[in-house]
Each structure stands twice: as C-alpha cells, then as structure tokens.
Structure 1
Amino acid sequence: MFRRILAVAAAVALTYVIVPPPRGDRIIRVYGDLRTAEHVAVIVPGTDTTAATFDGGRVRPYITPGGGARAVLAEARVLEPGARLAVVAWLGYDSPATVSLETVTVESAAKGAAELRRYVTETLRGRRVSLLCHSYGSVVCAKAAPGSGVAGIAVFGSPGLDVSSAAELGGAPLWVGSGSRDWMRDVPKLRLGPLGFGPDPADPAFGARLFATGAAGHSDYLKPGGESLRNLTLIALGRAGEVSRG
C-alpha cells in the first residue's frame, strides 16, 4: 500500500509540471432573490472548475455549479412552494486541476476558505446559510467553517476534510453523502506528510450525520429526481428531520 501511494504521488507530481492548475477565474452567481431570502445555500465546487465549466451543458447541466444551483432551487419549489431560498454558486478560489499536486494538498483550499468565510460573514450576514460542498470543495468548506456561523455543512464525494472529526468544524452540524457509484469511495483516506486530507468523513467514528444518496456517481449528487438532491435541499431549507439517512 505504501509503495502504491508513493507511486501515485510521484505520478501526480510529474503531471503537475505538465498540467498546471487553472488560475484567475472568480464567479459568484446568485439564483433566486438574495434580498428576501431567509435561507441561503452556497454550492462550493471541486477541482477543474473554471469559467468554461461553471454553467451550462445540455446533457448533464447539474454537474456544473450553476446547473446544480438551479436544480436545488427547483427542488425547493417542489418541497416547499414559496420558500424564501436563494442558492449561490460560489467559485471564489483557484480550483485546482484534477491531475495536479494541488488536488491532494490543502494550499488552494486554505486560501479559498478565507474568501468563503468572508463572503458568508459579510455578504450573507443575518441569513441562515448552509454550505453544500462537492469533492475538493469540501476541504474548502471545512477550513472556512470555524467562525463562519453557518447553520450546517453538507459534503459529498469528499476526499477528506483535513480534520480528525466533525467536532473540529466549529459546531455546525456536518452531513456527509457518499454515493454507491462514486469512485471517491475507493480512494484511500489518509494523510502522508503534506499529501491527503485524513480520515473518511463518512466513517461513523468521524461523528457526522450520513444522508442517503442512492446510487449516485461522483458528479450525480445534484441530479434532478435523485434522493441526494432531495436531501441536500431539505438541509438547505432547515428541515433536517426529514432527511433520509444513509
């Protein structure tokens, strides 16, 4: 196992030289009426998110931050017509390339966390905020959570949170989803020096609440009609008691 990890790390380091991470794209887009919203869900995407992949796509638009935000808003209108919910698709950090050394280290996440915490505490002050965090975006959310005052955090397809337990996230309830078809389930959850993000947040010992996701793949958590989307929307609406458990 140790040799395998070293081999993967070496391959990633080599590829990092060839494929540098994207830089410079910053998009924060609101879906719904932020002025009247009581609840705000902030979607924080993972790797390979740029202006070109932020929204759109005719086949699976829900895999993009913008398409996912629209899916949550549409689901909320079904679950609670008249709900005062706004959804923010937040790309306020340098999303690393999937095949790069940055995707297995915390540097990009730590820088993004400072921006996310500022956005939540200043722009969204006075509203009930939930963070919906996909893949590497879950590391950003975990680092932003302490001191942010968010009402809840939901992570899905997470590689780890760079903490040892949910208790280290500042007191906000932590929800974790891990789809049965998500390849991230097969990625070892550990820390080797500066590489990796520690234990699996879906492990019962971590102390999180598990929500049901069905047979979701890594990019399917916000797919319309899915159990995962329904549960994430209920979390955003503050209806935790109705969330189906994983």
Structure 2
Amino acid sequence: MSKTAPVPNRSARLHRIAHTLTQTYKLDWSKHENISAVYDDSRRTWTIEWTDGPTVEQVRRAARKADQAATEGLLYGRRLSQKTIVLGVIRAATAPAARLDFQHRPYFSPSDVEERWRTVSKPHPRDDRERALVDAILAEANGDHGLNWAQDYEICRIVQDKGLALFLRRTGVDMSPLERLTARYASGRASIAWTHQLRTMTPLAAFGAVQADTEALPQAVTDALTLLPDLHAQLDEAAADLKARLPEDEVSD
C-alpha cells in the first residue's frame, strides 16, 4: 500500500488558512478567539483550534474550501470559554424541556452544555440581564482564585445546588412584578422552579397569594395590581373558549 504523499509547505498553508479564517469570522485576537494551526509532535497531527466563535462544521467547510489538499486529515478543536460554559448552563437550566432530577431540579452536565452549543455560532448573552447573571455565577465559581479557575463540572454543580434565583438577586438587576411576587410567595414545586429555573407563578396564582396575605407589604400589593390587565385578558380569553363549547342557542351575554 502506497503512503500518502506529503503536502508541500503544509505548515505555512495551514497557518495561512487559520489567519484567513480568523479575519473571515471577525474573531478578536485580544480575547484569544483567533483560530490557530497547532502541530502535535507526538501524534504527528495538525489541529485547527479556536475558542467559542464559529462551529466546527463551519470552520471545517471553510478550511477545506480554502485548501483541500492541506486540510486532508486535519483535526478541529473548538474550545468553549468559561463565560460560554456558564451561559450554556443558564440556558440548560431554564430550557422548557430541561431534564429534572429526583428533587425536581434541572439536571445537566458539561457534555450537555457542549451539545447545546455544537450547532451555534458565536454564542453570546441575549441581553445585559443574562450577561450579569453569567458574571455573578463566574464570581461564585472562581472565588478569589482569578479567572478560569473552576472546572466545567464545578460550574454545573454550583448552579444545580444553589439555583439561578440566588445569582439573579446578586446581580441587583430589576425584577418584574411577577418575579418579585414569585420570589415571595412561591411554595412547593413552584418554589423549586423559581429557585432553579427562574420560572414564575401564573399571574392568577400570584394575585391570589397576595389577596390571601392579609399582611402583604405595599410593594406586593402594588405588584399584584399591575397584573390586572393580563388577568382580565386571560379571563376574557378563557371565557370565550368556554362559550365556544356551548350550542349557539345556549350562549348568552
């Protein structure tokens, strides 16, 4: 069996591809997002490596298009920064279809986070609130040790054990009236859902909780009253659905 002929100037060609792709995807060198071509002497293999940024499939296709011969047998390694790991943990915890453990808390692992981002290019926070939540969790995970101290599994464990509500409070961001009422009145599974997934009570349940609390604080009463427009709309919709079940001759205003 004949051996594959060596590719002339492969090192230079791969470094050139890495530089070109860094520019193509507008990656920030100062944040160590740039794409690099790395040679492993022990395995005698070349790997294209980068942090966050485009997906593996995007880079693989672009590299092959740039130079098919030089990329034959090339390996690809996309690392996830600590911020992206934390963001993935937040998204996994708050996902509507999140897996739950026996305590009805969201369950996830580093591999779940990696799979979540596998087809997502340049993952980033949706807004300042999510960005603040990422920072609060990172501060807890790394403590006084500096950046990138905690391992991925430790980040997952911290969020699983302590939940997201604790870190949301630490951010100091404004919560909505329904979120404040949920934090105050949720109990049982509703409390677990809020603590770990930031899932709020229904407006009707929150309003009823304040109504039943004869010692409710003025802020809670004010928050409950802000829910009235939504409650009226929901009740009107529910009433319309019920009326639709009746024969036309039995519907009355």
Greater relative contact order (CA < 8 Å, ≥ 6 in sequence): 1
TM more than 0.5 = no
Query: Computing the radius of gyration over CA atoms, which structure comes out larger, 1 or 2?
Result: 2
Q: TM-score, normalized by length of structure 1?
A: 0.22
Which one has the bigger helix percentage? 2
> Larger % of strand: which?
1
